[in-house]
Amino acid sequence: MLASNPINAFVRITDPKRARRFYEEVLGLKLVSDNPFMLVFRGNNALIMAQKTQKFSPLQGTVLGWEVKDIRKAVSSLAKSGVVFERFNGMDQDDLGIWTSPDGKVAWFKDPDGNILSVSEHANY
């Protein structure tokens, strides 16, 4: 029933100005709304609702991810914009921080509030 509909994704943020700079200028998303409760950004086929809050504890896993055609190019471009990619003990990540999984490749980074985000490349998806 919902498979053909766009997805709305949610993250929490504590500093709207800092989050806006990151999501707009670094990630290249378009701000479509700034209201007392959230910043709303548009991606290609999704809305990202950045909920304004005083404080929160980020989840320990990935909360948002983007599928890209060329992960090395995406990671390199984001790194040039100041994004630092995460390294995890026990995971065989390459020089850019990309891990090759059984289904594809993924690299993780954090937004200014510590939310874990990712880019991934899957040949079969």
Looking at residue 105, its pLDDT comes to 97
Q: Which domain holds residue 24?
A: 1-54
The fraction of the chain above a pLDDT of 90, given in percent, is 84
**Which percentage of the chain shows pLDDT scores above 70?**
99
pLDDT at 125: 67
Q: Are residues 65 and 125 in the same domain?
A: yes
pLDDT in tens, 21-54: 999 999 999 999 999 999 999 988 899 999 999 9
Shared domain check, 70 and 40: no
For the chain, the domain total comes to: 2
Cα separation, 19 vs 13, in Å, equals: 7
> Does residue 121 share a domain with residue 101?
yes
Counting Cα atoms < 13 Å in the Cβ hemisphere of 19 gives: 21
Residues 34 and 79 in one domain: no
Distance CA 94, CA 100 (A): 9
User: Is the pTM higher than 0.75?
Assistant: yes
Sites in the chain below the pLDDT cut of 70: 125
The verdict on 81 and 125 lying in the same domain is yes
Residues 65 and 122 both lie in one domain: yes
CATH number at residue 35: 3.10.180.10
